[in-house]
Structure 1
Amino acid sequence: MTIKKYVTDCELIAIPKIPDTRGNLSVIEKDVIPFEVKRVYYLYDVPAGAERGGHAHIQQKEFLIALSGSFDVILNDGTNTKTVTLNKPFEGLFITESIWRELKNFSSGSVCLVLASDVFEESDYIRDYQEFLSK
């Protein structure tokens, strides 16, 4: 049985930042994010006006970081929506399972890094919004 998740279960998490005159360093290890990372991918060269996401995961959790530039993440639990703007490489958005997400308003040159709790499994995706609402 799946426990209902809400947009309030998603949260911004600070990534430890080590400042240095030569440039800052941020590190994700141990307990920075609430899951073990099994896949890493990134989005870049997103054309102006294009959108990414448009799906939910049944079990997978994700952590999104704007390594460069900015973009909006629209979270939806079937009842509530919440928009989070990511624009700091030392802060990421934890998205729990069972949350619909859309990524929009990518700035020129933006890079979205995604750390995922599992490897790619098409069966874990809900790509139809009406199907998502019926779950």
Structure 2
Amino acid sequence: MEKQLGKIIQLQKIADRRGNLTVAEQLKDVPFEIKRAYWVYDVPGGESRGGHAHKALYQLLVAMSGSFTVTLDDGTTKQQFLLNHPWEGLLITPGIWRTLDDFSSGAVCLCLASELYEPDDYIYDYQEFLKYKHV
């Protein structure tokens, strides 16, 4: 069985002829308390986002519009996820390196985070990440 580095979470999609609605409630749909939300958009063609890991932070990434690919890496295994539905979120646990690539035109990535911004929680150097993971 292949090791799973991330988990796609199905969020409630309420279909309505006037427009669909999706809900993400902390500790119900999202398995952590949401302390911060931010979004990434207007990513130029060919650019990447992410390129780091977190020591303690949990995240749920959602493609609010368009699509992008998330590559997760625990130091020994890599796994890719295509996010392209606003009713699905990718749960990323601490200690996982992530990169976001292949943004479609108009793509918007929403991130729900378990903690407030803390610079010391980030690992930006991949070799330091491997040391942190004892790989």
Specify the alignment match of 1:72 in structure 2: 69
TM-score normalised to the size of structure 2?
Answer: 0.93
Specify the alignment match of 1:40 in structure 2: 37
Hey, what's the Cα distance between the residues in 2 that align with 1:117 and 1:22?
32
Find out whether 1:131 has 2:128 as its counterpart: yes
Hey, what's the Cα distance between the residues in 1 that align with 2:5 and 2:57?
14
Residue identity in the other structure for 1:100? W
Residue identity in the other structure for 1:26? T
Hey, what's the Cα distance between the residues in 1 that align with 2:5 and 2:129?
17
Hey, what's the Cα distance between the residues in 2 that align with 1:64 and 1:130?
25
Write the mapping of 1:1-135 to structure 2, written as runs, cut at 5 A. Answer: 8-29=4-25, 30-135=27-132
Aligned-pair CA distance for 1:74: 0.2
RMSD: 0.9
What 5-or-longer segments of structure 1 have no aligned partner? Answer: 1-6
Aligned-pair CA distance for 1:67: 0.3
Hey, what's the Cα distance between the residues in 2 that align with 1:58 and 1:112?
21
Aligned-pair CA distance for 1:9: 4.5
Aligned residues: 129
Hey, what's the Cα distance between the residues in 2 that align with 1:52 and 1:12?
19
Aligned-pair CA distance for 1:10: 1.7
Secondary structure of the 1:8 match is: coil
Hey, what's the Cα distance between the residues in 2 that align with 1:88 and 1:116?
19
Stretches of 4+ aligned residues off by more than 4 angstroms: none
Aligned-pair CA distance for 1:80: 0.1
Aligned-pair CA distance for 1:131: 0.3
Hey, what's the Cα distance between the residues in 1 that align with 2:131 and 2:36?
28
Q: Does the 8 A contact of 2:63 with 2:85 survive in 1?
A: yes
Hey, what's the Cα distance between the residues in 2 that align with 1:99 and 1:33?
18
